[in-house]
Chains A and B, each alone.
Chain A
Amino acid sequence: MKRNNFLERLIGEFLFLFLLIPQQIQAQTDTVKTNRYIMRTMMYGIGTSNIYDSYLSPQNYKGIDFRISREAMRFTKRGKGKVSSQNFLQANFSYTHNRANNNNTISGLINWNYGYHHQFPISENFKLLAGGLLDMNGGFVYNLQNTNNPASARAFINMDVSGMAIWHFKIKQYSFVLRYQLNIPVIGIMFSPQYDESYYEIFTLGNTSNIIKLTSPYNQPSLRQMLSLDAPIGHSRIRFSYLADMEQSRINNIKTHTYSHVFMVGIVRSLYLIHSKRGKPLPPSLRVY
């Protein structure tokens, strides 16, 4: 009963977030050109990973995680210029070992997030962002010793709620940006074989019953959070990030988790898009070729 009440409250909060935000949007400042500024970052990272998949083994596998990400943020014309979009693509590869250090798994995941945040300026230098993201994932975990259950496929799509806090500050004459972002899946679908079902039965014999399941924080309590600092170094703006990627699921009596803690670094670029109308060439002063 407690869980039902909690879920009702959760769903209520979710609807409130997505249905009432547009009504709260009030008069905006001129946004004609703000949607042409893009913040784009390419980052490379290394960290640790802890992988558990009861379909493959009852043991936790721990090891190294390599990651690459690409992010683009820009204002949109939605919500009278108060809504920004975020396009975040990351791919990781992990090489992990069991406790006895006599077996390894390799795993990989490609994750793409796209969505919108409504921006709430608290002060000139500090703002909160809240919104939703489409969160698509595809990957695998491969156990190097197993026979008929050597690998576990990862395929899931979620709708995430997402919050962000961005703080611009200065130390002496140098300006920095500190950001924290939290993404939490609230509803989605996930592929999973049944408890001890072989991939032979699914893909060769075609038994696909119950392999796509609805997910929620109850059976897929996961989160991704990132803390980043943009610092001016020379003429560039360098981003240092800590990413905590905590994916968990309990589907078809199969339990999985992937806990990754990754430190990433990359260059932040701010771009301004120039659109030429109807294919008309840009003025000579703006053309690079």
Chain B
Amino acid sequence: MGYRKLNKKQKTMSLSSYNIMKNKIILLLLIISNLTIQSCIDGEQYDNTPQGNFEQLWTTIDEHYCFFDYKNINWDSIHTVFSQKIETSMSNKDLFEVLSDMLYTLKDGHVNLISSYQCSYYDAWYQDYPHNFDEDIVNDDYLGKASTDYYTTSGIKYKIFDDNIGYMRYESFANDVGNGNLDEILEYLAICNGLIIDVRDNSGGTITNATKIAQRFTNEKLLIGYIEHKTGTGHNNFSSPTAINLKPSNSVRWQKKVVVLTNRRCFSATNYFVNTMRYLANVTILGDTTGGGSGLPFSSELPNGWTVRFSSSPILDADKNQIEFGIEPDIKIDLSTGDTMNHLDTMIETARKLLNK
């Protein structure tokens, strides 16, 4: 392959093919750039009007909410009913009220509409049931004074009762728990005959904290549930379930009996925690059915800037059953009026008896 001289005809042909190739390259770039320019990818931008905000909210829920079929909700008919309540001249507060009412039909504590002056919140999942928790009795008659009677770390209050039962009160899974904190708590409580974990009135937080605590109560890897996610806009477009396994902590682990106290206000990450703990060998769930809230919530927004939160990925139990409406306890018990009048917490007292057997 050396340099060779071209005759006049070959030079002409070479020049010709050279020009053809240049033209083809230019054509190719023009074709692709034309394709690119014409293919703008965008979402529908609704107007910032009462109608536009209504349509955006309805569409967001329609395309992303994950419990339509489970809850047997006809979202199209909801559109028909509530679109008639939207008026061009309505005030922001009236619009907020109508949109909130529409979201309440989802019966979901994870669904909120948030404006600068109000946050809508469906609360029938606990308001229509006995509270089963008296904060004053727990604080005054069981925990005592923070300075002398109990310890607190990472949002967990803990102490040893007179009958040698350990007590942990965790009020919110939003309080981050460190592994070092859990080591300290469990080492302090190690002498106890059993442990009460009180998560009543705990309305959730992060799953990571729930997992971190539950890992202290198992010696083996355990299937505790599944998670699904939506794969498209259809109400039934779900992925195949992904297994959620609980792995044992490689630090201090509790080997004795445990009672977890629950009420209707155990929601979201607390519901997840209770679902996890109920699969563990030495654990008894005692109290009332939890409040549920098994959908992992996502956020979106409306043209006027209001934020909407909704359940998008359902978490199932280990038998692939929904736990959106709560988890029943192993031992169902309510606070008795007589105990409350005597400054006793029926659930704590029952748990102590159970653990001292």
Contacts and interface: CB of A to CB of B under 8 A. Distances in A.
Contacts of B340: none
Contacts of B28: 10, 13-14, 16-17, 161
B341 to A, nearest CB: 41
A200 B296 contact: yes
Interface residues on A, range: 35 or more
A256 B37 CA distance: 15
Contact of B22 (A26, A102, A120): A120
A98 B301 contact: yes
Contacts of A102: 116, 305
A121 to B, nearest CB: 11
A1 interface: no
A227 interface: no
Interface string A256-282: 110000000000000000000000000
Given A59-B301, A163-B25, A194-B229, A145 B43 contact: no
A161 B41 CA distance: 21
Contacts of A87: none
Contacts of B350: none
A255 B45 CA distance: 13
A169 interface: no
A11 to B, nearest CB: 11
A214 interface: no
A182 to B, nearest CB: 6
B43 A52 contact: yes
Given A194-B231, A201-B313, A205-B242, A257 B42 contact: yes
B73 interface: no
Interface in A237-266: 246, 248-250, 252-253, 255-257
B312 A196 contact: yes
A198 B29 CA distance: 38
Contact of A163 (B21, B29, B230): B29
A62 to B, nearest CB: 12
A20 interface: yes
Given A99-B48, A161-B28, A248-B41, A217 B299 contact: no
A175 interface: no
A182 B33 contact: yes
B321 interface: no
Interface string B10-39: 000010011001101111110111011101
A249 B231 CA distance: 16
B307 interface: yes
B24 A16 contact: yes
A103 interface: yes
Interface stretch (A68-76, A106-114, A146-154): A146-154
Contacts of B297: 147-148
* Overall SS of chain B's interface: mixed
Given A13-B24, A194-B239, A196-B64, A54 B298 contact: no
A28 to B, nearest CB: 9
Nearest to A120: B22
A232 B25 CA distance: 32
A184 interface: yes
Contacts of B227: 201, 205
B138 interface: no
B43 A58 contact: yes
Contacts of B309: 147
A103 B300 CA distance: 11
A161 B312 CA distance: 39
A101 B303 CA distance: 10
B43 A54 contact: yes
A288 interface: no
Contacts of B14: 26
B45 A253 contact: no
B130 interface: no
Given A13-B31, A184-B33, A59 B39 contact: no
Contacts of A10: 28, 31-32
A21 to B, nearest CB: 7
Given A103-B301, A147-B298, A201-B227, 16 more contacts: A9-B31, A59-B45, A60-B45, A147-B299, A148-B312, A149-B299, A194-B230, A196-B313, A197-B229, A197-B239, A200-B207, A217-B32, A248-B40, A255-B41, A255-B42, A256-B41
Nearest 9 CB-CB pairings of A with B: A100-B305, A221-B39, A196-B230, A102-B305, A146-B299, A248-B41, A13-B28, A197-B229, A207-B242
19 contacts: A13-B31, A20-B21, A24-B18, A27-B3, A52-B41, A59-B301, A99-B305, A103-B305, A147-B299, A148-B296, A161-B32, A186-B32, A195-B231, A197-B239, A200-B296, A205-B227, A223-B32, A252-B231, A257-B40
